[in-house]
Chain A
Amino acid sequence: MTQALFGQLLVGLINGSFYALLSLGLAIIFGLLDVVNFAHGAQYMMGAFAAWMGLQYLGIGYWWALLLAPAAMGVLGAAVERLLLRRLRGLDPLYGLLLTFGLTLIAEGLFHQAYGNSGYSYPVPAALRGGVNLGFMYLPLYRAWVVAVSLVVCTASWFVIERTRLGAYLRAGTENPRLLQAFGVNVPLMFTLTYGFGVALAAFTGVMAAPVYQVTPLMGSSLIIVVFAVVVIGGMGSIAGSIVTGLGLGVVEGLTRYLYPEASSVVIFVIMALVLLVRPAGLFGRQR
């Protein structure tokens, strides 16, 4: 009984790692650019596909993919910001949401057309195959790796944004871009790079997910709604909030799957509704 419980908690933590990585990217983009990036799921999917295509057509392995896929997607993201999103700055955030939602539909449609929806298997890299028996469950090495990487990446991102000079510029840019520009900081460039970084983070998560989940055009859409709920619960734009809630909700979901599996798909939304009732700005959100 307790064995199973520990197992579920650990599994929840693993899923939470994916939620945290994805919601981190969303939180950064929303927090700094005020853009609700609905394309995050599609960007995650494209990251996974980039890894798969790299392996399939170019023989690029997992480790290089971990570097190259986010880099390529980051450049693409920067281009999207430069060419499209920038034009919507200052308008109601709804426009950004619609634009990114449209981009999602286009991307998913194109990949669906080209690759069908059964998707493809991406092999677990040789160095991370196998697993360890923890007594209460068998932990695949790769999943342990996911948790570790997620913690490192999340902590590092939080540190950069909340504790460094660069981060201070970024935060200042959201509060008052014109004033910051007056100090000689290239604010538009900063926004482009931030969006590129957020997209790269989504693609990075995609590559991390490729060996675990089937790589399919719809892999992002089934995840993104949950991730949005995570961001809302954590507090829109709160970096630390998104990381902590991501991990926490993964665990809650794991517990629900253990206690009453039928509710596992709604439990996060129930929590979201409750949190919004009590704290409309989210658990870690600041009233702006």
Chain B
Amino acid sequence: MKNQKKNRIWLGISASPGIAIGRAYRLNREEIKIREENLSPEQIEDEILRFKKALSEAKIEISKLKENIAKKLGPEHARLFEAYILILEDEFINQQIFTGIKEEKKNAEYIYNRVIQKTVQTISLSRDEYLKERVADIFAVSNRVLNRLLGIKQHTIEPLKTPGIIVAHSLGPGDVVQMKKGNVLGFVTDTGGKTSHVALLAKSLGFPAVVGLKTFFSSLKGEEMLILNGDEGVVILSPDEPTLKSYEAKREKLLERKRSLADLTSLPAETKDKKKIELSANIELLSDVETAIENGAQGIGLFRTEYLYLASSDLPGEEEQYQAYSSLARKLHPQNVIIRTFDMGGDKFVQDAERVYEANPFLGWRAIRACLDLPDFFKTQLRAILKASSLGNLKIMLPMISSLDELLKSKELLEEVKSELREKKVPFDEKIKVGIMIEIPSAALEADSLAKHCDFFSIGTNDLIQYTLAVDRTNERIAHLYQSFHPSVLKLIKKTVEDGHRNGIWVGMCGEMATDPKATSLLVGLGLDELSTSPLAIPQIKKIIRSIEFDQARNLVEEVMKLNNSKTIEKFLDEDYQTRFSNENSIGA
């Protein structure tokens, strides 16, 4: 009768947000039973071969899984499976197996299981929760090998007869990837933690999940109604009517909000009086592209190429860069992608011997300054961009420009690369647009002359504020002096827009200010043509743009420009924002 009790609440760990309501599907899996067997001397060689075969078959499986995930979620997620392959190929482990089989004359699965268990024990001794969760990664690999040795078919997740919630003792990343949206509503496991790869995948794929429920699986008969609350890490077993009703309402509300965002996605980013604003996304990783498109980005306003370096820990070569840029160009076509050339400290580009300590790295040898000093390095990046530009939707953006000289030198290098490519008859976009970041006060002050030599401006507010106010934005003691709405900063933005427009080029913004809902009216009023924000902020910013009258926004700018104190300005903008959006200031953020 115990199971009849209504509303039994199980507390677990929230692995992936969202609410799912449905019947439980218990995932019964053949248990791995390891038997100890003695071998005769002549069987030993075959046993070693059998083990090697299991390894190579498991490797093929994992490689396939890796490709699958790379296609679905991007190469960063696929990295995990490189670690899996390294585990399979680990000499430290495999040598112990070979010796074990030979010396003890026992079967491969027995020896393998023992070595793995011993290794896992050592790792489990760690006090670090995160490392403990890596045990799941090792088992995900070793179970594959053991299944092969025991002739057990690798588990697959078959589609459920009716949509439901999967309940399992444990699941691996390979299982989650096989789940079909709409068929699997969410999943619950006894094992696992917040940072397990299963949790990360569930989040990326949008399955609500609660893990670490310890004994839930064995206490379940199957077919029971469940409420899975992934936001709070709670599962309610056999909920009563009122609980069910309240959760259904809650889920409806969430879906409603999602739908209204989706509706927004197809609407243009324009003011009530039809002034269009190009609303695009700042991204760092190729896998951010999907999020950007889902949220209605009209292109990529800033692709931070230095992350190619950070992600691969090696300076990316021409081919690797070309692959990244052309994949972006293809995914976004016909929308535009603005590729910003490497923006990082110069020490990253050179051999250790040439590294120099800098007292003020933010004022030092970085971004365009380092690139111009290392023309071969810079030309490699320009060549990769040009080669990927044939579709005609790539643009080049130069960071940290402080004078016309740097812009002209960069363009000279670009011309050199172009003529080299022409000679080799490599196709590229002859009319590729070149713009610059306006993030140094000298560039804003010289905007008029810079505008005559480039095709667009994009204002980087983070650095512009830091350099204008002489405030190191990483220094906490002066954090209060870092004021986004300082009148001097707003004047520089205003001047940049005016000078750009006078010379017939468009002016955008890719700094954090573009993502701040308080600033949107002001920025539209200042006449910015493009705002590039973090992907998740796009719906909210679009909503604000669609509520603005351009004329009113211009009046707002006039009022703000009369104020001479950043606190007053911020308060003024905040009040303006609150009066218009008092009920809904958290959409999509």
Q: Are A and B subunits of one complex?
A: no
